[in-house]
Amino acid sequence: MKHITIIVPDGQSNLSTIASIVGTYEIFARANEYWAEPGSGRQEPYKVELAGVSKKVGVYNDLFMVKTQTHISAISKTHLIIIPSLVRDYEKALKGNKLLIDWVEQQYKEGAEIASMCTGAFMLASAGLLDGRSCATHWSAADTFRNLFPKVNLQADQLITDENGIYTNGGAYSFLNLVIYLVEKYYDRQTAIYCSKIFQIELDRQSQSAFTIFKGQKKHGDEMVKQAQDYIESNLEEKISVEHLSSKFAVGRRNFDRRFIKATGNTPVEYAQRVKIEWAKKALETSRKTVNEVMYEVGYSDVKAFREVFRKITGMSPLEYRSRYNKEAVVV
């Protein structure tokens, strides 16, 4: 029997951690049962265990307690390690789980695969296992992650990444989509379909774009870039060119681009698009304005161009977005 280890962070847990652990354990347990159902002639293929460095961990002012089944030192070989979501005080969480990080790194070197959920990616990145690789995490943690781990290729819009035996996923309860993805990898497609139906989880979802709320990266020290960001955000209806921005702030075009990308993680054009589309999303969610009216208000005159940018950023068309989030909107 092969082994799956679900990590219980050492005192660095919150309610999302509990959800990740419980949901993962339950789905894998059901996958095991389905695989070895009477008449199949098969045995349960995986032993699933909760492991950590403490016998039990209190969560949410000890409202909930998670009891580990074994200490990590007792596991000499595991095949898959699941790292759940971590607390929002990321740096504190990393320091408090140094023993776990070292163990995860050693197990990976010995052939184990690793899957991180939501902000669990911070633990993986702190071990250096994501350097030069693609990674996903909760969209709201993207700026902090980029600042802490500049060597990692963060894919903030992706729901799941799969690279060299390391799986990561986006935020919150999207961990369920990762678990279904792993069930298909570790069992088969039919078992994944069965679990998706039992737990009512959408199959094959790959993006968290529709859920992202763009706020802009402003935790940097470049005052010129902050002024440029403020100008973009205050002039939604304008078609702002990079040449106009760079000349406005008396900076050469190439230097302006370089500083803007370094500070925000986006090119000036990408940033302007995201600001405009975020405003458009709010208008489509809360008003009865037509798509064309919203489009003009954020500086677009070409319907095709607006739809393409909107879909690129959200993963759906403006009409699809309004249909999902605004039930009272007039159908046009």
Give the model's pLDDT for residue 6.
98
Domain ranges of the chain: 2-209, 223-325
| Single-letter residue type at 327 | K
Chain centroid to CA 165 = 18
Q: From first to last of the 332 residues of the chain, give the pLDDT tens digit.
A: 899 999 999 877 899 999 999 999 999 999 999 999 999 999 999 999 999 999 998 988 889 999 999 999 999 999 999 999 998 777 777 776 889 999 999 999 999 999 999 999 999 999 899 999 999 999 999 988 988 999 999 998 899 999 999 999 998 899 999 999 999 999 999 999 999 999 999 988 888 888 888 988 888 889 999 999 999 999 999 888 999 999 999 999 999 999 999 999 899 999 999 999 999 999 999 999 999 999 999 999 999 999 999 999 999 999 999 999 998 765 54
pTM, two decimal places? 0.80
113-116 and 56-59 beta bridge pairing: unpaired
Please provide the distance, in angstroms rounded to a whole number, between the alpha carbons at the two ends of the chain. 57
Give the Cβ contact number of residue 106 at 10 Å: 12
Distance between CA 122 and CA 146 in Å, rounded? 10
Environment class of 54 (CB within 10 Å of its CB; exposed 0-12, middle 13-18, buried 19+): middle
Using CA atoms, how far apart are residues 186 and 310, in angstroms rounded to an integer? 36
CA distance 299 to 316: 20
Domain 223-325 is in which class? mainly alpha
* CATH top class, domain 2-209: alpha beta
Instruction: Give the per-residue pLDDT at 319.
Output: 95
pLDDT of residue 87: 86
Q: What is the pLDDT of residue 329?
A: 65
Question: What is the rounded distance in angstroms from the CA atom of residue 92 to the CA atom of residue 103?
Answer: 18
pLDDT of residue 240: 86
State both tokens at 133.
Answer: 């690789």
β partners of residue 64: 59
- What confidence score (pLDDT) does residue 332 get? 45
Rounded to 5 degrees, φ, ψ at 117 are: -115, 130
| Exposure string over 148-175, b if 16+ CB within 10 A, otherwise e | ebeebebbbbbbbbbeeebbbbbbbebb
**DSSP code of 45?**
-
